[in-house]
Amino acid sequence: MFRRESALKESDQVRAVAASDNGIETVVNLPSLLGHNDSTFTLDFEDGSAARVMVFQWGVYEGVVSDGISSGSHEMQSALIAGSLSNEDSMAFVLGNLDHGLVLTGESDITGDVVVGPRGVTTGTLRDVNVPPSLPLHGRIHQITVTPHLFDASLLAHQVALAKSYISGRRRTRTAPDYSGKLVNTSGYLRLNDLSDSVSEVFSSGSLRLAGTIMKRGPPLTIVVNGHIELLPGASLVGPIALYSTDSISIPSKVSIINCILVSPKSIELQSGASVTAQLFSPVIRCLPNSAANYPSALVSVSLSDTGGVDQSINIESGVRVTGSILMNGGVGISKEDAVIDLEQGSLVTGEVYTDCYLTLDGEVNGFVRAFDLYFYSSPTTYLGWMRKGSIDRDALPKGTLRPVGTSASERGAILTWM
């Protein structure tokens, strides 16, 4: 009887694991991932097992938690889902401003096809810069007369609305009561090890120092701080954990952040030597030399102000390595000159760069770029549409790279990473 009960229990555990896998596989195959945000459903399978599946938008990706059930056995798994590459993603560079052409000079170089307006691609002359003997473009030129699609800004709408709700305090009034075990109120200092698995939200009335380790596998944990967040040396946050601060956020080198979201309405800085796998949402993002944002990170410059007019920038300094996505969506009332992505010489991005504003491209991009316009200033002139030092190599993008959901015409999804 004991052996029989053990065998049945092991069989139930195997079926629960399979049910959990099938739940995630079902979400991956949904025809449109964006249409199923923040939903929960149950799947019943022929062998009597089932899966309770929760789908939620996790920044620019989709999160899914699948609880496989067979008799008394449970097996929970969670994953991030991203979009697959489409045919449109074969282009190395797309210039959104059709009023002028693309000008390549100096050390600039593009490997792959480009999409530009009627004026095409040419070389140009700058003071103290060598003009290339031939056009440094290794690909075809596609000239268009209709403004191209860069990316769908509605991708960011859910995260922006959620951030505004948390940062303003509006979300606090709709949370569970303290005695539910899902909510923690604190201020000053929080040891992450002390949070139970049932806690889903933490609210701090003032600045907060975070220490210790937490590893989340199930539903997301949200930490909202009305003030400054200080990540103490050795702090480790792994899994679907979102940090919202009303102040700027600085990420030091001696912390571990994996699959998390960090949000600030002011600025986020990745300090020299810091290495994270995270999604950063802020109008101003700065990566200091020798820092790294690892795959599948996303650096997203977006205004979190209801009044608009907030200057935006993403500054990737020399020696920085970003593997994933860099996105900028210009806020209401902002001019193109006040919303610039600056990839400095010596920086490397492996993945994609999107902006509906300006891009200064002096670094390297192994992947593709979609920009309204290229920009740099050399006294006394502003240059639009010029590349002088940077390079784009579409062929160097690793095969199998996945993208933010909604940035591609493809509706096919795939598992980005297990959490």
Q: What is the residue extent of each domain of the chain?
A: 2-83, 153-362
pLDDT for 31: 61
pLDDT for 410: 58
Report the chain's mean pLDDT, rounded to a whole number: 86
pLDDT for 175: 52
pLDDT for 36: 53
Is the model more confident about 51 or about 250? 250
Q: Is the pLDDT of residue 24 over 90?
A: no
Model pTM score: 0.90
DSSP string over 224-253: EESS-EEE-TT-EEESSEEEEESS-EEE-T
Strand partners, 73: 70
Q: Which CATH number does the domain 2-83 belong to among 3.30.1300, 1.20.58, 1.25.40, 2.30.30?
A: 3.30.1300
Task: State the CB neighbour count (10 A cutoff) for residue 140.
Answer: 10
Distance CA 105, CA 20 (A): 54
Average pLDDT over residues 106-128: 92
pLDDT in tens, 168-215: 877 664 555 554 567 788 888 999 998 988 888 999 989 999 999 999
Q: Is the pLDDT of residue 309 over 80?
A: no
Q: Is the pLDDT of residue 35 over 60?
A: no
pLDDT for 149: 77
pLDDT for 179: 47
pLDDT in tens, 158-172: 888 888 888 887 766
Q: Is 179 helix (H, G, I), strand (E, B) or coil?
A: helix
Residue 181 has φ and ψ, to the nearest 5°, of: 85, -10
Quote the percentage of the chain above a pLDDT of 70: 91
Is the model more confident about 405 or about 123? 123
Distance CA 252, CA 232 (A): 8
pLDDT in tens, 345-390: 999 999 999 999 999 999 999 999 999 999 988 888 888 999 999 9
Which of these, 82, 85, 93, lies nearest to 155 by C-alpha position?
Answer: 82
Contact 268, 282 (CB under 8 A): yes
Q: Indicate the range of 132-136, 257-261, 277-281, 366-370 predicted with least confidence.
A: 132-136
Residue 400 has φ and ψ, to the nearest 5°, of: 90, 0
Q: Indicate the range of 158-162, 240-244, 277-281, 392-396 predicted with least confidence.
A: 158-162
pLDDT in tens, 44-57: 888 888 888 888 88
Highest mean pLDDT among 58-67, 104-113, 147-156: 104-113
Strand order in the sheet with 73-83: 39-44, 50-58, 61-70, 73-83, 413-418
Q: Which amino acid is at 254?
A: K
Radius of gyration over every alpha carbon of the chain, rounded to an integer in angstroms: 23
